[in-house]
Structure 1
Amino acid sequence: MASSDEEHKSTSRAPYPKWILAAISALGEKEGSNKSDISKFIETTYSDVLPEGHEAALSDALSKMKESGELLFVKNNYLKPDPSSTPRRGRGRPPKPKQPLPPGVSPPTPRPRGRPPKPKDPLAAAIAKAASGLPRPRGRPPKKHRPAVATSPKKTLKSSILKPSVAGLKRGRGRPPKVRVPETHAADE
């Protein structure tokens, strides 16, 4: 029973990162090695100590090494990063360099996203609500009657010729009908 526990512990601690790096360097392909080539190399070289879930463990180790930056994943191939090359930058804008704080000073709290809210004065809000009275009803407000404004005599003369003035009648909607002025024949007289 003790031997099976030891066996289980040894399989979970299989040195996959070391095996993967050895496989990539031994295969020596310029554009890197794909997962199936790495798996075949590990199966042939380390067949005596290979755990049961080899494929799943290899996939897990490859993804962890890719995320940590130990391996580069280019065109479905894994390869070792060149030590002289600059590290690959992630997506998006790089963060601004932070200035170190003097000792004994706590870092400020981060600002929330978006526009800061306007300062609210509770007294001003209460006064505005009281001044407005009841809340406004929905829809357009009714038209208020305006008193007639005195017009110039020139306009009144012209308007009296064109249309008869009827006091107190509202104008109808739309364009008013054209008024025909009766023609006077100067030749008849």
Structure 2
Amino acid sequence: MAAAVVTNGTQGPPHARQSLLPDYPQLILEAIDALNEKAGSNKSTIAKHIESTHMDLPAAHTTLLSHHLNKMKQSGQIVMLKNNYMRPDPNAPPKRGRGRPRKPKAPIPPGTVVSPPRPRGRPPKDPLAPPKPKATPGSGRARGRPPKMAKTTPPADPSTAGVKRGRGRPPKV
């Protein structure tokens, strides 16, 4: 049987160490109320106030304080304005998200069958459908430059009809 050794109040079973940590959200709210600054209190003044009132803080006090301040800010327990933390105003309207709010939807009468929404993007091609013939423009002519036609002119001199000429410029006579 192993006995838990206690030295400086930090060693012992895990549940005993957990109880030594102060309740940070409660300490933060007490510090903000005690400081009672109109524009709110920043992190350093909150930390100094907690350190002055509680002597048994852990070594990672600043890290724990930052973590709990961010957590409380995300949950809405405190509000951050210009690097200062304060309690939220109970009369203030709820904070809205970014962007334009959605349009209110008309209520659907009971008994109506709702079809699933159309998927985004272009619908896929049907692999079983026959290919469509290509449409020609309204003039009836094909697009682009017409193909080159072969020359079919009869030779001017019948005596040279069978002789092929060579490439390039002919020699002077």
TM-score normalised per structure 2: 0.60
Report how far residue 66 of structure 1 moved: 0.7
Q: Distance in 2 between matches of 1:143 and 1:110?
A: 50
Which residue of 48, 52, 66 maps to 1:59?
A: 66
Structure 1 regions of 5+ residues with no counterpart? 130-139, 148-165, 169-189
Which residue of 85, 89, 97 maps to 1:78?
A: 85
Which residue of 36, 51, 54 maps to 1:46?
A: 54
Q: Distance in 1 between matches of 2:127 and 2:18?
A: 66
Report how far residue 15 of structure 1 moved: 1.0
Q: How does 1:27-176 map to 2 (within 5 A)?
A: 27-48=35-56, 50-97=57-104, 111-113=118-120, 115-117=121-123, 120=126, 122-125=128-131, 143-145=147-149
Q: Distance in 2 between matches of 1:47 and 1:108?
A: 64
Greater helix fraction, Structure 1 or Structure 2: 1
1:10 aligns to 2:19 (yes or no): yes
Aligned length: 136
Q: Cα distance 1:109–1:56, how it changes in 2: closer, same or farther (>3 A)?
A: farther
Deviations 1:150-176 (A, max 9, x none): xxxxxxxxxxxxxxxx999xxxxxxxx
Tell me the SS of whatever aligns to 1:64: helix
Tell me the SS of whatever aligns to 2:129: helix
Q: Cα distance 1:120–1:66, how it changes in 2: closer, same or farther (>3 A)?
A: same
AA aligned to 1:8 is: R
Q: Distance in 1 between matches of 2:111 and 2:59?
A: 54
Tell me the percent identity.
Answer: 46
Q: Distance in 2 between matches of 1:11 and 1:100?
A: 54
Deviations 1:59-110 (A, max 9, x none): 0000001111111111111111100011222222334556788999999756
AA aligned to 2:73 is: K
